Structure 1
Amino acid sequence: MNESNAKLPNFIGDEVYDSYETAQVVILPIPYEVTTTYRKGCERGPAELLDASYQLEYYDDELRCEPCFDLGIFTHPAIADTRQHPDLSPEMMLQETSSTVKKLLDDNKFVIALGGEHAITTGMVQGFLDFYDEPFTVVQIDAHADLRQTFEGSEHNHACVMRRIMDLGLPSLPVAIRCLCKEEADLIAAKNIPVVWAWDIHQNPHWIEAAIANIATEKVFLTIDLDGIDPSLIGGVGTPEPGGLDWFGTLKFLRRLFQQKTVVGCDVMELAPIAGNVVSEYTAAKLVYKLIGYWHEKNFREQW
């Protein structure tokens, strides 16, 4: 597969493109889509997010710097691309994802993956597990619990991703959950999973402190299903659900998470662009740049 991997536009533009050897941040596009169950189109998400990123300003007014120039950003060729390989199995996708991520970590890169469907995250997390010799917490921003054992005949359906993370023996912190089935609700109760429910976020001004207090590990992997954010902000997702995080609440939580924990990597999943409306992909691109900025702030604070 590797010989036909596609090189997509560089995140935030060619002016800040850096070589793989010198870049500290790697953007990893994974345009894989097989199991989506409502709106299709998330295999187009990485390319359209990267296109939209050309419209971003380099300067971050919150952080008062230009993180892209300090860090160097390399956009990796796409992997597990169902636009090129429509018959790619979930098992092959997960293997390619985990092995690619492990190599990037071996090369000391901070990895942000762009999906594609949420099932990809199992491969992402496996790659981090293969690299680290200690447990970490998977922080999940999502509208849906994604804890089904199987869905539509597959244990690698996007609705099962956090069940697979549980199978890997890792703790999780689900944030902004507001849609689940009884099987998932029963599992949450039985396993005492510390869910941060969307309704609690909208009622509790101290939800961020309470949420982070439930993370027992120092290291964190962050997975963002964009439907975790309210569809009035990002409507171009596969399974929109009202009542999600607002923009500044999202940023406040993420900045606090990066400040108080060691975020080892991230993914941003399930962008399914709406034809003729660029709001979702632009907002998603800005969110990715904020993740880069918060990682920069945590790791290079002493240089400011």
Structure 2
Amino acid sequence: MIAKQFIGSEAQTTYEEAKVVILPIPYEKTTTYRKGCQNGAAAIIKASDQLEAYDIEFEQEICHEVGIFTVNAIASTITNPDLTPEAMMDLVTARVSKLIANGKFVIALGGEHSITAGIVKAYRQLLSEPFTVIQIDAHGDLRHSYEDSIYNHACVMRRVLDMGLPTLPVGIRSICLEEAQLIKEKQIPVVWAKDIYQNLDWIDKALSHITTEKVFITIDLDGLDPSLMPGVGTPEPGGLNWFELTKFLRTVFSKHQVIGCDVMELAPTSDSVVSEFTAAKLVYKLVSYITLSC
């Protein structure tokens, strides 16, 4: 069955015509606090029905300019609760590889953040040159293993480092001792949340650390402040606000070739649609910014 389309009837684009493919990955196996991110992708797609197709920032209906198609979900623990992290990684890498080979710009929707390692692996295998993984997040996600798994959501950026790729973590405000030591050892250029506030040139300083033309962007929604994004598994105070994040993303797309994106860790709340609507709006902004990419 064809998945419900992101932004619904507004898109009206076939897979062949679409530049952007939305890939739902409702996988949740290693979350450690508030559960429910396996429902995140569907909630974002449902909320997207309420978006206006007209983007005020670009003064046009972006979905008609770019073309968006939503493919069927993969690696779902809703339908397959016994799916292991290793099997999930293989499924994700294979599917993303096919979409890239078809010339699609992939925006994956999670699901837990561990999924990102499988996505990045697909790009790493297919591209001949390195790229930087920009991580919007509250947490370092740099543990070697957690709860007896190297594929835990708390280890995803460590797996990215294992692929030999540079990273740029942005909005970080919670790490453990192991991660602090690794950051110093590897000289990872972390953009701490505390250094963003009242620092007008933080974006330029952050991007000065990127030495590759191509970048991949992974967004853990807890990178946003929980006052704006309460529906996440591990909320942390002091996060990015809407305009800080979108200004940063627009600048990245303007100065670098963005090869793909993901939006992870939405765990919908039962009494509010704020988180899923904000996440859907963010996905649509990513689609808009694709028009700026080098």
TM-score interval, normalised by the smaller of the two chains: over 0.9
Mapped to 2, the partners of 1:8 and 1:39 lie a distance apart of: 26
Q: Does 1:180 align with 2:149?
A: no
The answer to whether structure 1 residue 238 and structure 2 residue 233 are counterparts is: yes
TM-score with structure 1 setting the length: 0.95
Spell out, residue by residue over 1:158-210, the C-alpha distance to the aligned partner (whole angstroms, 9 max, x if none).
00000000001000000000000010000000100000000000142110000
Deviation at 1:18, TM superposition (A): 1.3
Q: Which residue of structure 2 aligns with residue 295 of structure 1? A: 290
Q: Could you tell me which residue of structure 1 aligns to residue 132 of structure 2?
A: 137
Correspondent of 1:191 among 186, 206, 229:
186
Does structure 1 residue 65 correspond to structure 2 residue 67? Answer: no
Alignment deviations for residues 203-256 of structure 1 (CA, whole Å, 9 cap, x no partner): 421100000110010000000000000000011001000000000010100000
How far does the alpha carbon of each residue in 1:85-134 deviate from its partner, in whole angstroms, 9 at most, with x for none? 00001111001101111100100000000000000000000011122110
Once residues 83 and 9 of structure 2 are traced to their aligned partners in structure 1, the CA distance between those partners, rounded to angstroms, is 31
Determine helix, strand or coil for the equivalent of 2:54.
coil
**Aligned partners of 1:47, 1:8: CA distance in 2, in Å?**
9
Q: Could you tell me how far apart the structure 1 residues matched to 2:48 and 2:193 are? A: 28
d(CA) in 2 for partners of 1:195, 1:15 = 39
Q: How many residues align?
A: 294
Deviating above 2 A after TM superposition, structure 1's stretches of 4 or more consecutive aligned residues are none
In 2, the alpha carbon distance for the partners of 1:171 and 1:15 equals: 37
Is 1:213 aligned to 2:208, yes or no? yes
2:247 pairs with 1:252: yes
Question: One-letter code of the match for 1:114?
Answer: L
1:149 to 144, 149, 159: 144
The alignment status of 1:116 with 2:111, answered yes or no, reads yes
For 1:71 and 1:208, the matched residues in 2 are separated by: 27
Which digits, 9 at most, give the CA deviation of each residue in 1:20-60, with x for residues without a partner?
11111000000000000000000000001000000000011
Partners in 2 of 1:265 and 1:297 — Cα distance? 13
SS in 1 for 2:261: strand
Tell me if 1:222 matches 2:245. no
1:29 to 18, 24, 28: 24
Separation in 2 of the partners of 1:265 and 1:187?
26
Cα RMSD of the aligned pairs, angstroms, is 0.9
Unaligned runs of 5+ in 2: none
- CA shift at 1:63, angstroms? 1.2
Q: CA deviation at 1:16?
A: 1.3
User: Cα deviation per residue 1:260-295 (whole Å; 9 max; x = unaligned)?
Assistant: 001000000000000020000000000000000000
| Counterpart amino acid of residue 147 in structure 2 | E
Q: 1:8 aligns with which of 3, 25, 34?
A: 3
In structure 1, the residue corresponding to 2:60 is in which secondary structure?
coil
Task: Report what 1:3 is aligned to.
Answer: none
Query: Of 123, 127, 139, which residue of structure 2 is paired with 1:128?
Result: 123
Separation (CA, whole Å) in 2 of partners of 1:9 and 1:42: 18
